[in-house]
Amino acid sequence: MICELLKSNSSLLNLSLQKNYIGTAGANFLSQALRIN
Protein backbone atom coordinates (compact mmCIF):
# COMPACT_ATOMS: atom_id res chain seq x y z
CA MET A 1 0.00 0.00 0.00
CA ILE A 2 2.67 2.50 1.02
CA CYS A 3 4.85 1.41 -1.89
CA GLU A 4 1.98 2.01 -4.31
CA LEU A 5 1.41 5.48 -2.87
CA LEU A 6 5.10 6.29 -3.20
CA LYS A 7 5.11 5.09 -6.80
CA SER A 8 2.10 7.22 -7.72
CA ASN A 9 3.55 10.23 -5.91
CA SER A 10 6.92 9.89 -7.64
CA SER A 11 5.24 9.59 -11.05
CA LEU A 12 3.19 12.72 -10.34
CA LEU A 13 6.35 14.49 -9.22
CA ASN A 14 8.14 13.43 -12.39
CA LEU A 15 5.24 14.70 -14.50
CA SER A 16 5.27 18.09 -12.79
CA LEU A 17 9.05 18.34 -13.15
CA GLN A 18 8.79 17.55 -16.86
CA LYS A 19 6.07 20.19 -17.26
CA ASN A 20 8.23 22.76 -15.47
CA TYR A 21 11.24 21.85 -17.63
CA ILE A 22 9.21 22.12 -20.84
CA GLY A 23 7.75 25.42 -19.68
CA THR A 24 11.14 26.96 -18.90
CA ALA A 25 12.61 25.64 -22.16
CA GLY A 26 9.71 27.17 -24.09
CA ALA A 27 10.11 30.48 -22.28
CA ASN A 28 13.84 30.53 -23.00
CA PHE A 29 13.21 29.74 -26.66
CA LEU A 30 10.59 32.49 -26.92
CA SER A 31 12.84 35.06 -25.26
CA GLN A 32 15.70 34.17 -27.62
CA ALA A 33 13.39 34.39 -30.64
CA LEU A 34 12.16 37.81 -29.49
CA ARG A 35 15.73 38.93 -28.91
CA ILE A 36 16.72 37.96 -32.47
CA ASN A 37 13.78 39.92 -33.87
Number of domains in the chain: 1
29 — pLDDT class (breaks 50, 70, 90): very high
Q: How far apart are CA 30 and CA 27, in angstroms?
A: 5
Query: Is 32 buried (19+), middle (13-18) or exposed (0-12) by CB count in 10 A?
Result: exposed
Q: By percentage, how much of the chain surpasses pLDDT 70?
A: 95
**In which domain, by residue range, is 21 found?**
1-35
> What's the sign of the alpha-carbon dihedral 20, 22, 28, 30?
negative
Q: How far apart are CA 37 and CA 18, in angstroms?
A: 29
Tens digits of residue pLDDT in 7-19: 887 888 888 888 8
24 — pLDDT class (breaks 50, 70, 90): very high
